[in-house]
């Protein structure tokens, strides 16, 4: 029962965060940002009124009436006639029910009908692939490296790992991506190397159209999957280079602490092999603590970094769509930006929740309470 209770507790906490984020955004949209929507309504109504006038130039008062009716109706439909706090809840409800509206500049995304929910749905698989693989691989490699380095405490390789971890914490992940593109895509081409990497993108153009509508169809095609993996190499390498350090550092600290415990000494005294001591008596008790440290750093280091890395590699994911929505049209594509923030918060909360489950599975103290 304890397991379910603590899981439920965490779930409530995360849902609370989602609602807080949602409320903040919705409130911002209902207040100062609503003037944008009002203007849009007026422009729409004016277009209709002008069409009426064109048809019958003498019907000025009629056109005015049409204009007023349309503005009133649209404002009612968008909830603009309500006080801001009511409107906030309208917007929250729309967000929760995935009613995200239409993009201002649908042609920038190449997704057929410009529905924001479709744009984001097309970007989600890319982000999930890069984030999941990135977090998992960097965790596995980082914990391995950190543990090895803790067991060789004070050696040259240990100090090397420490400095690498410290420096990698200060590297802008997306800039490492830029350097990788310059070295492995641009320079390798310049020296006519037989192997060079793509400049970016998630797939070659011939597969990309399919990817936008139906990613599952791409996975059915072996050569398309290979193409995806080929495009994945540089972004993944970028993510790994920067993130392994953090995991290694935390793993090392925790393992060092555990390795000094009495039960480890006892295990050694019993004559267990070093492998057994390390795996059963050091890493196992250290695992939950490593995860806790990571849970605290995820919001900053991991999440922001991944999104911007997608921009550099033009990797069709939430981050890249963010970039298009902000910069491609000159003026920001507000519906897309807002929905992206909600969607990425949702995704982030799912990731955190999965890590929480992992944490509970690993920590017997929580599990068997």
Partner 1 sequence: MTQKEEKRGSGFRILGMSPSEISREFFSSGTGKVASALFIVLVVVSIYSYFALPSNFGAIWNNPSYWKFNPDNAPPAWINYFTSQKLAPQVTVHPLESVTTYRGVTYISSTFSVENPYAVPWQDIYLVLNGIPKNSSAAVQLTIYRPDGSSMPIGPLQFSGSYIDLASSSQVKNQILSFFYDKGESITLAPTQSPIPLLFQAVKNGKPYTLDGNYTVKILVTVFGSVASSSKDPNFITVIMRGNVYGLMGTDFEGHDLWEGLLAGFPIDLEIGIVSAVITMVIAIVVGIMSGYFRGWIDEVLTRITDIVITMPAFPLLIVFSVLFAWSLWDAILFLSILSWGGAARIIRSMIMQIREAQYIEGAKIVGARGSWILRNHILPQIMPYSLYLLVTSAPGAILTISALNFLNLAGSAYPTWGNLLYWADSTGALYAGMWWWVIPPGLLIAFVAVVFILVAIASEPVVNPRLRYG
Q: Interface residues with partner 1 (CB under 8 A)? A: 13-14, 16-17, 20-21, 24-25, 28-29, 32-33, 166-167, 169-172, 174-176, 178-179, 181-182, 185-187, 190, 199, 296, 299-301, 303-305, 307-308, 311-312, 322-323, 326-327, 332, 334, 337-338, 340-341, 344-345, 348-349, 352
Instruction: Give least dist CB 29 to partner 1, A.
Output: 7
Nearer to partner 1 among residue 30 and residue 70 (C-beta): 30
Which residues on neighbouring strands pair with residue 102, listed in sequence order?
A: 115
| Cα 64 from Cα 274, distance rounded (Å) | 86
Q: Which residue, 59 or 328, is less far from partner 1 as judged by CB? A: 328
Q: What is the DSSP string of 80-103?
A: TTS-HHHHHHHHHHHHHTT---B-
Among all chains, which residue has been given the structure tokens 């069409």? 51
* Least Cβ distance, residue 217 to partner 1 (angstroms): 30
Shortest Å distance, C-beta 302 to partner 1: 10
At its nearest, how many Å lie between partner 1 and the CB of residue 120?
13
Asked if residue 208 lies in contact with residue 202, where contact means CB atoms within 8 angstroms, the answer is yes
Burial of 260-271, coded b for 16+ CB within 10 Å and e otherwise, reads eeeebeebeeee
Closest approach of partner 1 to the CB of residue 182, in Å: 6
Going by C-beta distance under 8 Å and a sequence separation of 6 or more, which residues neighbour residue 293? 250, 253, 254
Q: How far is the CB of 360 from partner 1 (least distance, A)?
A: 16
Cβ distance to partner 1 smaller for residue 48 or 90 = 90
Q: Please, which residue, 24 or 266, has the CB nearer to partner 1?
A: 24
* CB 345 to partner 1: min, Å: 5
Nearest residue (CB) to partner 1, 59 versus 298 = 298
Q: 47 vs 186, which CB is nearer to partner 1? A: 186
User: Distance between CA 46 and CA 57 in Å, rounded?
Assistant: 15
Measured CA to CA, the distance from residue 47 to residue 227 in angstroms comes to 47
Q: Which is nearer to partner 1, 67 or 306 (CB)?
A: 306
Q: Which two tokens stand for residue 335?
A: 């519906």
d(CA 281, CA 195): 45
How do the residues of the chain divide into helix, strand and coil, expressed in percent and rounded to 5? 80, 0, 20
């Amino acid at each position: 029962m304890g397991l379910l209770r603590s899981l439920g507790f965490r779930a409530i906490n995360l849902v609370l965060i989602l609602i807080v984020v949602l409320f903040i955004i919705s409130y911002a949209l209902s207040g100062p940002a609503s003037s944008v929507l009002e203007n849009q309504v007026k422009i729409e109504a004016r277009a209709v009124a002008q069409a009426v006038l064109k048809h019958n130039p003498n019907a000025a008062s009629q056109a005015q009436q049409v204009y007023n009716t349309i503005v009133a109706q649209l404002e009612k439909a968008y909830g603009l006639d309500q006080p801001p706090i009511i409107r906030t809840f309208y917007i929250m409800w729309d967000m929760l029910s995935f009613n995200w509206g239409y993009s201002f500049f649908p042609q920038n995304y190449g997704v057929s009908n410009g529905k924001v929910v479709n744009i984001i749905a097309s970007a989600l698989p890319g982000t999930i692939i890069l984030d999941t693989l990135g977090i998992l691989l960097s965790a596995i490699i980082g914990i391995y490296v950190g543990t090895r380095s803790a067991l060789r405490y004070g050696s040259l390789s240990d100090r090397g790992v420490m400095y690498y971890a410290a420096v990698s914490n200060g590297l802008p992940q997306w800039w490492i991506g830029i350097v990788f593109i310059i070295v492995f895509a641009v320079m390798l081409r310049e020296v006519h190397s037989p192997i060079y990497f793509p400049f970016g993108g998630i797939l070659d153009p011939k597969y990309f159209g399919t990817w936008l509508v139906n990613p599952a169809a791409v996975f059915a095609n072996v050569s398309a999957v290979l193409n995806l993996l080929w495009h994945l190499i540089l972004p993944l390498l970028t993510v790994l280079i920067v993130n392994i350090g953090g995991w290694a550092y935390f793993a090392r600290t925790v393992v060092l602490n555990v390795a000094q415990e009495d039960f480890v000494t006892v295990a050694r005294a019993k004559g267990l092999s070093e492998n057994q001591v390390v795996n059963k008596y050091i890493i196992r008790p250290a695992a939950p603590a490593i995860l806790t440290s990571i849970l605290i750093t995820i919001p900053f280091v991991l999440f922001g970094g991944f999104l911007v890395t997608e921009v550099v590699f033009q990797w069709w994911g939430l981050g890249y769509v963010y970039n298009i929505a902000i910069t491609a049209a000159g003026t920001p594509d507000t519906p897309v930006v807002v929905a992206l923030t909600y969607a990425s918060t949702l995704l982030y909360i799912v990731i955190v929740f999965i890590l929480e489950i992992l944490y509970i599975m690993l920590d017997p103290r929580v599990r068997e309470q």
